[in-house]
Chains A and B, each alone.
Chain A
Amino acid sequence: MASHLEIELEKLKNVIVKINNLAENQVFEAVGILLSEPLSDKKQVKKTENKIDKLEVKIEDICQSIFALQQPVASDLRFIMSAMQISNEIERIGDLAMSMIKLNKNINSKYELVTKFNIEEIGREVEKIVIKTNVCFQNLDAEAIGEIYILNNSIKQKATAAVQNIIDDIKTNSKSIVSGMNLIMVLRNIERMGEHCTNIAESVYFMINAKVIKHEKHTDKNAEEE
């Protein structure tokens, strides 16, 4: 029969999966709005945001409880340390998604801009990276870590290119400055989402291999993973 500690760890894992799923949904909503897909209930989005915040607090509480009462060691210890970091990152992703949704209001004639600068591709990629990150954590999938890095690099490249294009466009067509600026901010948000996903991947790596790979050059990491 499962020990007290195992029950608590299982509980923790379930909550993280929950918050992951909620954040995932927020990202889908945000990308959907960006690409002019029909918007689901705005109230629902706000509700989800609140839920995410609450869950983050709950995760911290559970972690504190386990630390104080169960003296976890080895892989359990790494799991809980990672759990705290991951929930933090997830919460930021949720925030970024909300921010994206708000920025959308100020992007006029979106459709043209979006198609002009190939935003859809970036949007799909960020959806992908978020899904992959979720899976990576749930299955402790080491291979997925490498794929997440690759996706992140791709997102960065594409976003940087798109931003440059938008800036050039603004220079020639000053009327589009408001929409353009907001779109640039949206793209920045997307980039940061990608970064948060790689952070989560690093935490998963720590869980698996007990090695901290933060702040190391990510390109090197790719080579190691493959």
Chain B
Amino acid sequence: MKDIKIEVKDLSLYYGEKKALNDISMLIPSNKVTALIGPSGCGKSTFLRSINRMNDLIPSVKITGQMLVEGVDIYDKNVDVVNIRKKIGMVFQKSNPFPKSIYENIAYGPKINGMKNKTDLDEIVETSLRQAAIWEEVKDRLFDSAMGLSGGQQQRLCIARTLAVSPDIVLMDEPASALDPISTSKIEELVHELKEQYTIIIVTHNMQQAARTSDFTAFFYLGELIEIDKTKTIFTKPSKKQTEDYITGRFG
């Protein structure tokens, strides 16, 4: 089953007593872009954060069901969550570069994993920055502070930083929502290029962005997965009326 990267089986998530995700089951294909759409509060971000177990940071969270990444349930007791996050990277809504130099930001991940050799690090930094389409803009100021970059550049830096640890899967939580249109389209193009090497799952509240960039789209509503299908199908002839109503703007 090489085409499927993640299999979600009856996944439910509780914040204390409140059920935020209700029996989600879906298949996420490899090397494709899957978009998660839905109105605010529908659970798409919560679901995304379940994939790399970032929800573990919230003490009252409880998860039932299975999240199988390449056949392994990442919520299994024997699994080391730190290793999961090396394989499943995340780019956040608001870019969060470390207050260090650009070089140090990218090298952070590899260094954590034990890489010490300067040449190796240099190479990874350059490769990652190239992959994130920002190398040309920063190659002459690698040791300047990352905080001096513009919003769009910072976000691409964060993407490069995530790529530097060579994950298989890249999760993006509304990566362009805080950016201007030109930066947004740069990020969208980047997503398009990256899918050849990575499996990408992107949460977006901007339907048109989902339509432009993704191969598959999943529609969430009130903590449930309503429909998941090829993006073209979802946006031309969705099977569920709820999906159609949302996409045509009739509600939410």
Contacts and interface: CB of A to CB of B under 8 A. Distances in A.
Direct A–B contact in complex, judged by CB atoms less than 8 Å apart: yes
Interface of A: 1, 3-5, 64-65, 68-71
A134 B23 CA distance: 56
Contact of B232 (A1, A3, A4, A69): A69
Given A4-B212, A64-B236, A69 B189 contact: no
Given A4-B212, A5-B212, A70-B211, 8 more contacts: A1-B189, A1-B193, A4-B188, A65-B236, A68-B211, A68-B236, A69-B211, A69-B235
10 contacts: A3-B185, A3-B189, A4-B192, A5-B212, A65-B236, A68-B236, A69-B211, A69-B232, A70-B211, A71-B212
B231 interface: yes
A64 B237 CA distance: 11
A73 B231 CA distance: 20
B117 interface: no
A4 B195 CA distance: 13
Interface range, B side: 10 to 19
B208 interface: yes
Interface in B221-237: 231-232, 235-236
Nearest to B208: A71
Interface string B164-204: 00000000000000000000010011001100000000000
A4 B213 CA distance: 8
Nearest to A2: B189
Contacts of A3: 185, 189
Contact of A68 (B185, B192, B235): B235
Contacts of B208: 71
Interface string B215-251: 0000000000000000110011000000000000000
A65 B185 CA distance: 19
Contacts of A64: 236
Given A3-B189, A4-B192, A70 B212 contact: yes
Contacts of A71: 208, 211-212
**Dominant secondary structure of chain A at its interface with chain B:** helix
Residue with the greatest number of chain A CB neighbours at <10 A, chosen from B212, B213, B231: B212
A76 B248 CA distance: 22
A214 B232 CA distance: 32
Nearest to A67: B236
A135 B20 CA distance: 59
A64 B185 CA distance: 22
Contacts of A65: 232, 236
A109 B193 CA distance: 64
Contacts of B193: 1
Nearest to B214: A69
Contacts of B211: 68-71
Contact of B231 (A1, A5, A69): A69
A5 B212 CA distance: 8
A1 B186 CA distance: 11
A62 to B, nearest CB: 10
A3 B185 CA distance: 9
Contacts of A70: 211-212
A21 B154 CA distance: 49
Contacts of B188: 4
A68 B189 contact: no
Nearest to B189: A3
Nearest to A68: B235
Nearest to A4: B192
A68 B213 CA distance: 12
A184 B252 CA distance: 61
A5 B192 CA distance: 11
B138 to A, nearest CB: 19
Residue with the greatest number of chain B CB neighbours at <10 A, chosen from A5, A68, A70: A68
Nearest to A64: B236
B76 to A, nearest CB: 38
Contacts of B192: 4
Nearest to A7: B192
A64 B233 CA distance: 11
Closest 5 CB pairs of A and B: A68-B235, A69-B211, A68-B236, A71-B208, A65-B232
A68 B233 CA distance: 10
